[in-house]
Chains A and B, each alone.
Chain A
Amino acid sequence: MGGTFYGVLMNILKVLAQRLSYALALLIAVLVLNFTMINLAPGDVVDTIAADMGGASAELMEQIHTEYGLDKPIIVQLGNYVWRVLQFDLGHSYFYNRPVTEMIFERLPATLLLVFSAQIFALILGILLGVFAAIRPNGILSHIVTLFALFGYAAPVFWTGILLLIAFSLNIPLFPVAGMRDVTIDGGFFPQALSVAHHLVLPMLSLGSIFIALYSRLCRASMLEVLGSDYIRTAKAKGLSPRDVTLKHGLKNALPPVVTLAGLQFSAVISGAVLVESVFSWPGLGQLALTSILARDTPTILGILFFSALVVIIGNLLTDLALRLIDPRIRKST
């Protein structure tokens, strides 16, 4: 057992080192590309600051341009920016006038909570539905699952969100309409956590709804393929119970493609979070991203993209590790 454990650990460390070097290159590319793209569009943050104030004078706008160094050539601005980031300084938000890192760390937990819970919820429900649908591929349940899943996938996530709000905040008032916690609750950790969980349900459902479809469809297909293979027939012939055959032999082998897809979908979950956060006023990175994109607040946008890239990289890494845990073949091959 010790030898295998050591082997797995070395293997994981090797993968980590390789991934980290890719990640660094990717992060710098993210910054440079996005900086260039943002600056290609006409207008800048000074226009939105002026709009936010209900109009401004030419002198004031010029003054803000100089203060933020926006009067310098783009290439100089880009150089300054990358140099600062290499010193672990993401700069100051033009719009909120606060350190970008501080704002991001304030909001990162909310987004992570939403993204991970939606992802886990979608995976569990998707796999369950997929398995049920695969047991009787032409049964009525299978069709219902397909219909339900396609609906979730096809409907725009903000629309699903508003429908859920109308159903479960207005018609059957079970859940709050917006925010992350009830500010009138003063209790300790548990009442607070309970309040957050209460607020989390609807956003998690709407964000998860898109991915349930993906996971259940893939799980169903993968299960059908596995259930038709020889070793399943052998297992059945050995006289194992149908439950054991489906779960231990079937599901275990059908799972890797689903987990791989879940990892690939990580970036999609994060971009979905932008919309869901806006509908439910969830105070995460997505809302900050939307505000700063509309405001052309370059340092904040770049900071968020930087962190989103980081989250995607970490998510993919976790997927890789998870695959290694559930599938010994991958463990051995690298």
Chain B
Amino acid sequence: MKTRVLTKLAMAISGAAMLCSTAMAEEPVRGGTLVTTLPQTPRHLNPAVQSGIVTGAPGAQLFAAPLRYDEDWTPQPYLAESWEWSDDGLSMTLKLVQDARFHDGEPITSEDVAFSVDTIKANHPFKTMFGVVETVETPDAHTAVLKLSQPHPALLLAMSSQLMPIIPKHIYGDGQDPKAHPRNGQDVVGSGPFKFVEFTADQQVILERNGDFFIEGRPYLDRIVYRIIKDASARAIGMENGELHMTTFENTVRNIKRMSENENLVATDEGYAAIGPINWLAFNTGSDGPLADKRVRQAIAYAVDKKFILDAIMLGLSQEAKTGIHPGSPLYYPDVNGYDLDLDKANALLDEAGYPADSSGTRFSLTIDHGNPTTKPQAEFTKASLAKIGIDVTVNSFVDFPTWANKISNHDFDMTWDTVFNWGDPVIGVHRTYDSQNIKEGVIWSNTQQYKNAEIDRIMGEAGQEIDPEKRAALYKEFQEILAEDLPVYWTNTLPYHTIYSNKVGNPPLGIWASSSPYDLVFLKE
């Protein structure tokens, strides 16, 4: 199977597609300083050795990746002008664009690609991304061949800015530990559309236009200032009074509502499908208690009204999530049981599971923990809902993350509300929750539910290696059907992530990677 992409044609089509889909007939203007936000201080700016959205956003401007994505999940050429699977799916050949240079003027070569893959593989927390890459061959300066031990379709999404920045070997290959390299946070030399100017913790990150960028005529902006503002209300006020042009990853629903009512601002939830944040109620299926029985888990799901969460807690700003794959993904399969409110069914299931109500109407008691303060309303709502079917719930709040994470990851819990991210391909962010091999004590966001199903393990193994998109989608359909029946977690909604931008901003980043995509097309109308 060949998916050879012809350079020029693809560039022209993708460029045109991007322009048409975002800002109709709007002519981009050169110049201006975009003022945007980061909700917390990044540890540093090198996404090769640090995951997360606050490193990913400036990181995507500083470093280019082989591929980029707009809103429809189709890979587009970026630093790689073409990419090609071998027939057996065991090697991926990248052809780099000619004349691309790092910010210090050194050429970007296949050596740098090989070095970047090695560095990411050794240091990035997501081991499943490049774990199967055995070597990267460099037959010439502009050709890199990734040799795999098994077919690995997740590679395509992994080759985007958030996960595979191309970093200069002549800077980061000097023998120092890449995770603690002094150039990760200061004097960063990258390959992307913007160059490093300043990074001051708790204040700002300032980037300026790379005049020597490998895409002619871009970027349009002169500067990007990321102001680090932790308080969500302060960011909202800054948007309303015009101090800020754009803010991303906003998830406090009242602030989003307020900003969306401002006539100079546009609020949208487009752009978060690849990052894919999903809220769910997790069950400790490995406990000795009633939660080991899937009928009990189903009963709980029937009793917790998803509509209330979507309409009253999320104010209609988030989407319903019926499975562990984000609804924005092409692999999402919505025709599974969504467990809409049905107290009769819930009671019947609990009777059937052998938990009759005692004289006071109580069947059994459970605890629910929540670490993230934003999930407190869900936790309280769950307690009230489950009282209706005779389950007595105690809510435990944990203000600080490590305490909560420690309890959950050591399987010392009954239920918890949690938010987990897809991170592009299911192999990276979805499998970890359901893989019986990934029940790891002390590791948060591993399979902390202790869910074991050989059938699910088999499907994930196959789907992870299936290159044919249709066969792959079929495998994930089965995967989602089985999980919706077993219900190791009860998925309710996506996080209400929104991008809010002033109507002065042209081509806001609404592709699947939101602010972790290059801003070379963003411009300011004046």
A residues in contact (CB < 8 Å) with B: 41-45, 47-48, 50-58, 60-61, 95-97, 103, 106-107, 162, 165-166, 169-170, 173, 176-180, 183-184, 278-281, 283, 287-288, 291, 293-294, 296
Contact = CB atoms under 8 A, between A and B. Distances in A.
A98 to B, nearest CB: 8
Interface in B430-463: 432, 440, 442-446
Contacts of A95: 43
Contact of B406 (A47, A55, A162): A47
Nearest to A162: B233
B231 interface: yes
Contacts of A50: 125, 405, 443-445
A44 B400 CA distance: 10
Interface of B: 33, 40-41, 43-44, 50-52, 125-127, 179-180, 198, 200-204, 206, 225, 227-231, 233-235, 237-238, 240-241, 243, 400-407, 409, 420-421, 423, 429, 432, 440, 442-446
B402 A283 contact: no
Given A52-B52, A61-B442, A170 B201 contact: no
Contacts of A42: 402-403, 406-407
The 3 closest A-B pairs by CB, nearest first: A43-B402, A43-B406, A55-B445
Given A58-B442, A97-B44, A170-B240, 14 more contacts: A50-B125, A51-B405, A54-B445, A55-B420, A55-B446, A57-B125, A96-B201, A165-B233, A178-B231, A180-B203, A184-B33, A279-B234, A288-B202, A293-B400
A95 B229 CA distance: 19
Contacts of B231: 162, 178, 278-281
Contact of B202 (A55, A57, A170, A283): A283
Given A97-B180, A170-B240, A55 B126 contact: yes
Contacts of B126: 54-55
Contacts of A106: 201
A294 B373 CA distance: 13
A189 to B, nearest CB: 19
A53 B432 CA distance: 14
Contacts of B125: 50, 53-57, 60
Q: Which of B407, B421, B443: most chain A Cβ within 10 A?
A: B443
B204 A44 contact: no
Contacts of B225: 183-184
A176 B240 contact: no
16 contacts: A41-B400, A48-B405, A52-B43, A54-B51, A54-B421, A55-B126, A55-B420, A57-B127, A106-B201, A177-B234, A178-B227, A178-B231, A180-B203, A280-B231, A287-B230, A288-B201
Contacts of B241: 169-170, 173, 177
A278 to B, nearest CB: 6
Contacts of A47: 401-402, 405-406, 409, 444
Nearest to A42: B406
Given A58-B443, A169-B241, A177-B243, A291 B402 contact: no
A179 B227 contact: yes
B46 to A, nearest CB: 12
Contacts of B407: 42
A105 to B, nearest CB: 13
A170 B265 CA distance: 15
B403 A53 contact: no
Given A55-B125, A179-B227, A183-B225, A165 B234 contact: yes
A315 B429 CA distance: 51
B504 to A, nearest CB: 16
Contacts of A173: 241
Nearest to A55: B445
B406 A56 contact: no
Given A56-B125, A60-B125, A287-B230, A169 B237 contact: yes
A281 B229 contact: yes
A279 B202 CA distance: 12
Contact of B243 (A57, A176, A280): A176
A159 to B, nearest CB: 10
B403 A43 contact: yes
Contacts of A283: 200-203
A280 B202 CA distance: 11
A43 B180 contact: no
Contacts of B403: 41-43
A180 B51 CA distance: 28
Contacts of A165: 233-234, 237
A43 B405 contact: yes
Contacts of B228: 281
A103 B234 contact: no
Contact of A57 (B33, B429, B443): B443
Nearest to A106: B201
Contacts of B44: 97
Contacts of B405: 43, 47-48, 50-51
A103 B41 CA distance: 13
Contact of B50 (A48, A53, A103, A107): A53
A293 B240 CA distance: 31
Contacts of B229: 177-179, 281
Given A48-B401, A48-B402, A291-B41, A178 B204 contact: no
Nearest to B200: A283
Contacts of A103: 201
A68 B126 CA distance: 21
A97 B233 contact: no
Given A184-B33, A279-B231, A291 B43 contact: no
B234 A61 contact: no
A94 B229 CA distance: 22
A166 to B, nearest CB: 7
A293 to B, nearest CB: 8
A209 to B, nearest CB: 18
Contacts of A61: 442-443
A296 B201 contact: no
B258 to A, nearest CB: 10
A148 to B, nearest CB: 24
Contact of A177 (B198, B237, B423): B237
Given A43-B406, A61-B442, A287-B202, A53 B52 contact: yes
B227 A54 contact: no
Nearest to B204: A183
- Residue of A106, A177, A278 with highest tally of chain B CB at under 10 A: A177
Contacts of A52: 43, 50-52
A291 B233 CA distance: 18
B238 A177 contact: yes
Contacts of B240: 170
A179 B204 contact: yes
B239 to A, nearest CB: 9
Contacts of B43: 52, 95-97
Nearest to B423: A54
Nearest to B49: A53
Contacts of B227: 178-179, 281
Contacts of B180: 97
A58 to B, nearest CB: 5
A178 B420 CA distance: 30
B517 to A, nearest CB: 17
A291 B40 contact: yes
